[in-house]
Amino acid sequence: MTIFQELESEVRCYCRTWPVVFDRASGSRLYDEDDRPYLDFFTGAGTLNYGHNNPLLKRPLIEYFTDDRVIHSLDMFTVAKRDFLSAFDELILRPRDLRYRVQFPGPGGANAVEAALKLARKATGRSDFICFENGFHGMTLGCLAVSGSDARRAACGEHIALAHRLPFDRRADDLCDDFSLLDRALAGELGHERPAAVIVEAVQGDGGVNVAGSDWLRGLAIRCRSHDVPLILDDVQMGCGRTGAFFSFEESGILPDIVCLSKSIGGYGLPLALTLIREDLDVWEPGEHTGTFRGVDPALVAGTAALRAYWSDDALQRRSLRRAPLIMAALQTVCHDTPGESISARGRGMVHGLAFERAEQAAHVSAAAFELGLLVETCGPGNDVVKLLPPLTIGDDDLHEGLDLLVQAVLRTC
């Protein structure tokens, strides 16, 4: 592995947690170059909801490549884009009575969020944003400005934008939050102007698998609407079925003004991002927000295949919702059966976390899991949570094996 150490930047991260050279992948498993298998409960930070090299998505891609079809198109019209938009409208938007314009802002989630922030400023003529503690929206400057992690923002070296952080749904911790602070912020009564937008996650992934209650999300949406402040819902990691429904906000019944999607919307792990815009907010002038890799047509092909394979009916959603209580029960058993350690379980759908009172224990559990052949990452403000993101398509045997390996990792370290 000397070539990586000699040439690759010190910024590299995940390879330090999992110091092997991976070579191939299939379904819910990665294999290193010595052919040792690892159950993947990381899935590219939520990019591989449909697993590795899913054959239902691979076949259309192989055909597309072998037929010499368009690969790169910026924002030109292509058959691949038409097929994707048709499938997205037919299977996702119309069944939910959603009337969004679809913007292709670039290849990643940060592109989707940056476009949303920029558009909100243009549409409202205002500059400030309201965001939430422990939120995470990407690593570019604008995204970091509205993220809640001081450690993430520290790399920028200075104050980077006008963003005001408020407490995330504290009722999840049985603390009183009557929206009084939010009401004052939305009205511009906290020493700053009325905001251009509010940005929120229905489930904070990087922030520690913090689940917002439906009542809190509805209260937030009602207040944004009453103050004429656009609500941006960042669904980059929790969209595409991670919480059960396609969008993480569906359970609450809210209707965000702008929605950011990426990661698994590309189906096969290919780069694709969408910014969904309420029709009257689509005030862009042609070419006002551009990017070289807005049109990665193989990602559109894989994304279309994923939509048709998994969202033509509700089978995947029902399976995820059926598995959620099984995963939670396994985690709660770990919490109860681990002597001398304060651990709590949290999550929704197919995203869950084990939160440790002693933050260092999460890293120990992740390392022990790796030694046992399971990939799980840590998250949260102190990296105190072990996060589980298994593929939505994982088989029952692999799911139970992964949970068993996690239990063993906890017992080894606590």
Identical fold between 2-55+314-413 and 59-310:
no
Neighbours of 10 (CB within 10 A): 7
CA dist., res. 177 & res. 198, Å (int)? 17
- Classified by CATH at the fold level, domain 2-55+314-413 comes out as Aspartate Aminotransferase, domain 1 (3.90.1150)
Instruction: Give the range with max mean pLDDT: 145-154, 187-196, 249-258.
Output: 249-258
User: Span 217-240, mean pLDDT?
Assistant: 97
**Predicted pLDDT at 229:** 97
For the chain, the structural domain boundaries read: 2-55+314-413, 59-310
Q: Domain 59-310 classified CATH 3.50.50.60?
A: no
Give the pTM.
Answer: 0.96
User: Span 10-15, mean pLDDT?
Assistant: 94
pLDDT in tens, 96-139: 999 999 999 999 999 999 999 999 999 999 999 999 999 999 99
pLDDT in tens, 377-407: 999 999 999 999 999 999 999 999 999 999 9
User: Span 33-51, mean pLDDT?
Assistant: 98
Identify the band that residue 172 occupies on the pLDDT scale cut at 50, 70 and 90. Answer: very low
Identify the band that residue 160 occupies on the pLDDT scale cut at 50, 70 and 90. Answer: low
Q: Which DSSP state fits 26?
A: E
**Predicted pLDDT at 161:** 64
User: Span 30-44, mean pLDDT?
Assistant: 98
**Predicted pLDDT at 295:** 84
Q: CA end-to-end span of the chain, whole Å?
A: 31
Average pLDDT, the chain: 94
Task: Tell me, letter by letter, the H, E, C secondary structure of 316-365.
Answer: HHHHHHHHHHHHHHHHHHHHHHCCCCCEEEEEECCEEEEEECCCHHHHHH
- Helical H segments across 34-190, by residue range: 43-46, 55-66, 79-88, 109-124, 141-145, 150-154, 180-186
- Tell me if residue 259 falls in helix, strand or coil: strand
> Is a pLDDT exceeding 80 seen at residue 74?
yes
**Predicted pLDDT at 149:** 73
DSSP 363-376: HHHHHHHHHHTEE-
> Is a pLDDT exceeding 60 seen at residue 174?
no
Q: How many C-alpha atoms does 382 have within 13 Å on its Cβ side?
A: 9
**Predicted pLDDT at 157:** 61
